[in-house]
Amino acid sequence: MSVTAAQGFEAAGVAVGLKSTGANDVAVVVNRGPKKVGAAVFTSNRAKANPIIWSQQAISDGIVEAVVLNSGGANCFTGSFGFQTTHQTAEKAAELLGAGAGDVIVCSTGLIGTGDEVFRAKVLDGVAKGIAELSTAGGEAASLAIMTTDSRPKTAAITRDGWTVGGMAKGAGMLAPGLATMLVVVTTDADLTAAEADTALRAATRVSFDRLDSDGCMSTNDQVTLLASGASGIRPEGDAFAQALADVCRDLAEQLQGDAEGASHDIAIEVVGAASEEDAVVVGRSVARNNLFKAAIFGNDPNWGRVLAAIGTTDAAFDPYDVDVSFNGVRVCTAGGPDRPREEVDLTPRRTHILIDLRVGDAAATILTNDLTHDYVHENSAYSS
Amino acid sequence: MSVTAAQGFEAAGVAVGLKSTGANDVAVVVNRGPKKVGAAVFTSNRAKANPIIWSQQAISDGIVEAVVLNSGGANCFTGSFGFQTTHQTAEKAAELLGAGAGDVIVCSTGLIGTGDEVFRAKVLDGVAKGIAELSTAGGEAASLAIMTTDSRPKTAAITRDGWTVGGMAKGAGMLAPGLATMLVVVTTDADLTAAEADTALRAATRVSFDRLDSDGCMSTNDQVTLLASGASGIRPEGDAFAQALADVCRDLAEQLQGDAEGASHDIAIEVVGAASEEDAVVVGRSVARNNLFKAAIFGNDPNWGRVLAAIGTTDAAFDPYDVDVSFNGVRVCTAGGPDRPREEVDLTPRRTHILIDLRVGDAAATILTNDLTHDYVHENSAYSS
């Protein structure tokens, strides 16, 4: 499991005091090759943290030798001092690994606006300690080091014909499209070119992390990085790698959903009968972001009126008076009017399925979201994050 | 105050059992003339209730003689039976008033998907009872009849040089732009043409109700109607009427904000230094709809990082690293970096002011919103609405 499941990778997770609990807070993942192929996608938020600004440059040549990740501070809106911290982090890792600083990706997560001298000293300390502890069994420790409000680490791995894809993720809040408050590193020993890695990563994130919309809030620090070592010596056939990568990313996205802050329901909003996949995504997202719908699910109320009111705000192709809506298999709304009585719907299970049939085409998409609960309000009002 | 403050208007509010509490639930407002000028704006939600579909037709000639409003049922997504209910409501009022059905506006509010035979019978009963009780002192009773989860009635009136503008509003949740879950009737005895009434109403709603975004959820039933009797015999000079109407609408919008479901803070998000008014609105709305920001205000946390993360999702003109943010007069963020310590900010008062300076132009706009609280989740999960 995790980022050391594939051949050619070492990792470590260490504690340097960024977390007041004393838990692991700096992770290092290193690609030992023989190839050092990398690809990455970043938050589409225009408010980008310093590690995002750095890593967007570092990834441009398609070569990545190491990823350094820290929790306990986002290093976002911390000015030129903060950018220098990221730069020094990459330089220190490069020096200790005998690599170039431009081949080191940096990821940070935590409170926006914090990243002072103490933060910098601890992160640099973590780079040294982490590189000293690198091992092919370090994947689990690394997955612990990137946790913030996560209640558990998230890892996944798939092995196909002689090659493996494995990854780790963190994220429990500020989960929204354009990438959620999350850091993800996926490794593979498949033999890929940089272009192949980039294409497969963009395709995989489009149908996994980009369809997770827990609370509509887009982070400043999100990043998904793919490292390919080629250590298996195997070039996957056809789209086998793209499929395996998408499976790992979907698995990690569902783990993020399942651990979302304060949530009591994991809701899959499946939109079918759409004129286009884009329309299906827009419609699903409008429901996922509707606080009244989200509160109704928390209250175990199959309130289909709130679903129709939400999708009515979009410009997707459909007739509001010819839409069907089902909650957990019970069709409560047919052609924009009442159907089965709401008493027939059981919304007590955590896993919740909403089916929306727009009845205009053949396209479909599923958006993953969570309900709006007292615990969500509590976790996001009682603590800064 | 209310819709009978201006000359030429009678109103009533009666109880016919649509509300289980026995409170007033049907209101009638009648324009006795001499002129019967009307203008209206409607929800931009594509999922429109039957009363909206009816009233959009009825307003097209610029003549309105009466408005019938009911709480206790939205008559939305109730099929052709529901549309017939609205039609019969207008016909009954027209018959009793000696008017044409096409000059009667109908408004409904309550749970989506309900509007059966019992509902129809009660509404028609309310039309008869309401018309029997019409009086020039009926404005207060009418304002009580349109309440749903509102904790208090909302009315306002302004008298200028011989003419008056008065109105009533309801709305406590599903408050969002494109008009909120709200019904508003404003009357005036100023002498206006239909075109003047329409122009003034659109201008007034654009800077009042359209800038209220309590919870980002757009209703299916929203409607603002302006009735002008001309009974004062005075044609207001210049833009005096437009200004008075905007003042009344802003007053009512602030009353809606102040009574929003479960809210503990009334937040004014003032965006200045924008390249255009549209940009200022987009930026303000992105903050108003950010659940993490809203929860932070509930927790009295001046979390400016969440403000920048929210505005970074827009395409408005600004540099995220050159934006200033103040909370209640304390500038906690200057040029995208920390300024005054957050401990200096006092967020305990209900009235909260966020100032965002984009530093690129001279345009400005203020969006009104509320915080995300336990009570909001409770009210919208424990009850269907």
Contact list in B for residue A73 (CB cut-off 8 A) is none
Nearest Cα to A370, choosing from A277, A279, A256? A256
- Nearest CB neighbour to B301, from listed A311, A373, A384: A384
- Annotated binding residue A385: yes
Contacts for A17 with CB less than 8 Å, ≥ 6 apart: A25, A122
| Averaged pLDDT of chain B | 88
Contact list in A for residue B260 (CB cut-off 8 A) is none
The predicted-structure confidence for B175-197, as pLDDT tens digits, reads as follows: 554 333 577 788 899 899 989 98
Interchain contact, A77 vs B111, CB within 8 Å: no
pLDDT for res A29: 94
Instruction: Indicate the Cα dihedral angle B295, B300, B304, B306, nearest 10°.
Output: -10
Parallel/antiparallel/unpaired status of strands A164-170 and A183-188: antiparallel
Best mutation target among A267, A285, A377, A383 (most B Cβ atoms within 10 Å) is A377
Domain span(s) for CATH 3.60.70.12 in chain A: 2-258
Interchain contact, A295 vs B376, CB within 8 Å: yes
Interchain contact, A298 vs B377, CB within 8 Å: yes
Q: Is B181 a catalytic residue?
A: yes
Angle, nearest 10°, between helix axes A240-258 and A194-206? 40
The alpha carbon dihedral of B255, B258, B261, B266 has a sign of: positive
- Enclosing H/E stretch for B129: helix B117-132
- Report CA-CA distances (Å) from A212 to A56, A268, B321: 23, 9, 28
Contact list in B for residue A299 (CB cut-off 8 A) is 380-383
Question: ipTM value of the model?
Answer: 0.70
- Nearest CB neighbour to B292, from listed A217, A290, A308: A217
Closest Cα in chain B, distance from residue A258 (Å)? 19
What value does the mean pLDDT take over residues B159-184? Answer: 71
Domain span(s) for CATH 3.10.20.340 in chain B: 266-382
Q: Helix, strand or coil for residue A237?
A: coil
**Angstrom distance (rounded) from CA A99 to CA A68:** 13
- Ramachandran angles phi, psi of B240, nearest 5°: -60, -40
- Nearest CB neighbour to B113, from listed A74, A218, A305: A305
The predicted-structure confidence for B255-300, as pLDDT tens digits, reads as follows: 888 887 788 999 999 999 999 999 999 999 899 888 889 888 998 9
pLDDT for res B77: 84
- Ramachandran angles phi, psi of A315, nearest 5°: -110, 20
Contact list in A for residue B382 (CB cut-off 8 A) is 299
Go through A171-182 and write b for each residue having 16 or more CB atoms within 10 A of its CB, e for each that does not: bbbbbbbbbbbb
Which candidate in A155, A181, A205, A352 is catalytic? A181
Place of tokens 């998230």: A154
Interchain contact, B291 vs A382, CB within 8 Å: no
Task: Please determine, for residue B64, whether its predicted confidence score (pLDDT) is greater than 60.
Answer: yes
Contact list in A for residue B46 (CB cut-off 8 A) is 312-314, 320
pLDDT for res A306: 86
Interchain contact, A112 vs B305, CB within 8 Å: yes
Q: What is the CATH number of domain A2-258?
A: 3.60.70.12
Could you give the residue ranges of the DSSP H alpha helices within chain A?
A: 50-58, 79-97, 117-132, 139-145, 194-206, 240-258, 277-288, 291-298, 304-311, 374-382
**Angstrom distance (rounded) from CA B285 to CA B304:** 15
- Report CA-CA distances (Å) from B89 to B54, B69, B84, B101, B141: 11, 10, 8, 9, 20
Nearest Cα to B35, choosing from B188, B223, B201, B236? B188
Q: Which CATH superfamily is domain A266-382 in?
A: ArgJ beta chain, C-terminal domain (3.10.20.340)
Best mutation target among B80, B119, B291, B331 (most A Cβ atoms within 10 Å) is B291
Interface A–B counts its CB contacts (< 8 A) at: 186
Interchain contact, A305 vs B219, CB within 8 Å: no
The predicted-structure confidence for B12-45, as pLDDT tens digits, reads as follows: 999 999 998 999 999 999 999 999 998 888 877 7
Interchain contact, A321 vs B77, CB within 8 Å: yes
Count of CA atoms in the C-beta half-sphere (13 A) of B115: 29
Q: What is the pLDDT along chain A (385 residues), one digit of tens a residue?
A: 799 999 999 999 999 999 989 999 999 999 999 999 988 888 777 778 899 999 999 999 999 999 999 998 889 888 889 999 999 999 999 999 999 999 999 999 888 877 889 999 999 999 999 999 999 999 999 999 998 878 888 888 889 888 999 988 887 655 554 333 577 788 899 899 989 988 988 888 887 777 777 666 667 777 777 888 889 999 998 889 998 998 888 888 888 888 877 889 999 999 999 999 999 999 998 998 888 898 889 989 898 988 988 898 888 999 988 999 999 999 999 998 889 998 999 999 999 999 999 999 999 999 888 888 888 888 777 765 5
Count of CA atoms in the C-beta half-sphere (13 A) of A14: 20
Interchain contact, B320 vs A381, CB within 8 Å: no
CA-nearest residue of chain B to A173? Answer: B292
> What is the DSSP-derived secondary structure letter of residue B73?
B
Q: Helix, strand or coil for residue B199?
A: helix
| Partner residues linked to A154 by β-bridges | A169
**Angstrom distance (rounded) from CA A283 to CA B183:** 27
**Angstrom distance (rounded) from CA A311 to CA A332:** 16
CA-nearest residue of chain B to A320? Answer: B47
Percent of all residues in chain B with a pLDDT value above 70, rounded to a whole number: 95
SS3 content of chain A, % helix, strand, coil (to 5): 35, 25, 40
pLDDT for res B217: 67
Contact list in A for residue B292 (CB cut-off 8 A) is 173-174, 215, 217, 380, 385
- Annotated binding residue A380: yes
